[in-house]
């Protein structure tokens, strides 16, 4: 969750129980009466977009989302090769979890910027999905890395092969991310370490410690 003078912005919308967790977090910060203005997506996997439609309905937030994952938001993603397994899991999950499709208000391509928080720039990091996108804040030298890697201390890892739509693009995306001027990174899946600690884990994983 990002906050600026105009309100709150979510990076992705969470999975099962995500709305309850979000409301608890809002209360803990005393932000429960502040408007959620936007939902900024990193990619179209179900564990990131399940709550988009319900949250939009409740808050009226706009949605900005990577264009190349459009089929995911429509509930019709195509998974080929190794990622076929992920496709089967999602196909079972969508009706079970009552996924509602949605159409983003703004389609995001590499290099697009959003004038929220300290300013965010889309950094296309394909591999995990075709549209997979990190969000970079130049002022803070901080990159939201989405699912480029999962950061759990010594158990940090790149996403398993069956979850990557175009694994051949992963390496280039890791290099692209690490070529930015960075003080820290924040992944979607990780423990509560500092952005600096997450960055050193990513560098270690990439063999660039």
CB of 35 to Zn ion, least distance (A): 28
Q: Binder to Zn ion among 10, 42, 45, 198 (CB under 5 A)?
A: 45
69 binds Zn ion (CB under 5 A): no
Q: Which stretch binds Zn ion (CB under 5 A): 61-69, 71-79, 143-151, 190-198?
A: 143-151
198 binds Zn ion (CB under 5 A): no
Which residue lies nearer to Zn ion by CB, 140 or 189? 189
Q: Which stretch binds Zn ion (CB under 5 A): 41-49, 59-67, 102-110, 166-174?
A: 41-49
CB of 43 to Zn ion, least distance (A): 6
CB of 198 to Zn ion, least distance (A): 17
DSSP structure string for the chain: -EEETTEEEEES--STTHHHHHHHHHHHHT-TTS-EEEEE-S---HHHHTTHHHHHHHH--EEEEEGGGHHHHTT-----GGGHHHHHHHHHHHHHTT------SEEE-TT-EE-STT-EEEEE-TTSSSS-EEEEETTTTEEEEETS-BB-GGG-BPPPGGG-SSGGGHHHHHHHHHTS--SEEEESSB-S--HHHHHHHHHHHTT--
Give phi and psi for 30, each to the nearest 5: 75, 25
CB of 113 to Zn ion, least distance (A): 23
In this structure, what token pair is assigned to residue 36? Answer: 């959620």
Which residue lies nearer to Zn ion by CB, 90 or 147? 147
CB of 115 to Zn ion, least distance (A): 26
Would you give the distance in Å from CA 173 to the centre of its chain? 15
147 binds Zn ion (CB under 5 A): yes
Instruction: Point out the residue whose Cβ comes nearest to Zn ion.
Output: 45
- Would you tell me which residues interact with Zn ion (CB under 5 A)? 45, 147
């Amino acid at each position: 969750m990002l906050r600026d003078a105009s309100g709150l912005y979510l990076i992705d919308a969470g999975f099962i129980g995500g709305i309850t967790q979000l409301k608890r977090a809002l209360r803990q910060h005393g932000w429960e009466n502040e408007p959620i203005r936007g939902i900024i997506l990193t990619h179209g996997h179900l564990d990131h977009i399940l709550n988009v439609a319900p949250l939009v309905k409740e808050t009226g937030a706009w949605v900005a989302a990577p264009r190349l994952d459009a089929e995911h938001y429509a509930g019709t993603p195509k998974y080929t090769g190794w990622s076929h397994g992920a496709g089967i899991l999602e196909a079972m999950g969508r009706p079970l979890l009552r996924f509602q499709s949605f159409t983003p208000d703004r389609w995001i391509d590499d290099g697009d910027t959003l004038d929220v928080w300290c300013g965010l720039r889309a950094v296309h990091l394909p591999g995990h999905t075709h549209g997979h996108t990190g969000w970079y804040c130049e002022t803070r030298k901080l990159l939201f890395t989405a699912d480029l890697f999962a950061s759990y201390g010594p158990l940090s890892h790149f996403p398993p092969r069956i979850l990557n739509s175009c694994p051949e693009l992963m390496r280039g995306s890791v290099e692209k991310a690490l070529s930015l001027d960075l003080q820290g990174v924040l992944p979607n899946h990780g423990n509560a370490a500092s952005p600096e600690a997450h960055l050193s884990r990513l560098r270690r994983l990439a063999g660039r410690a």
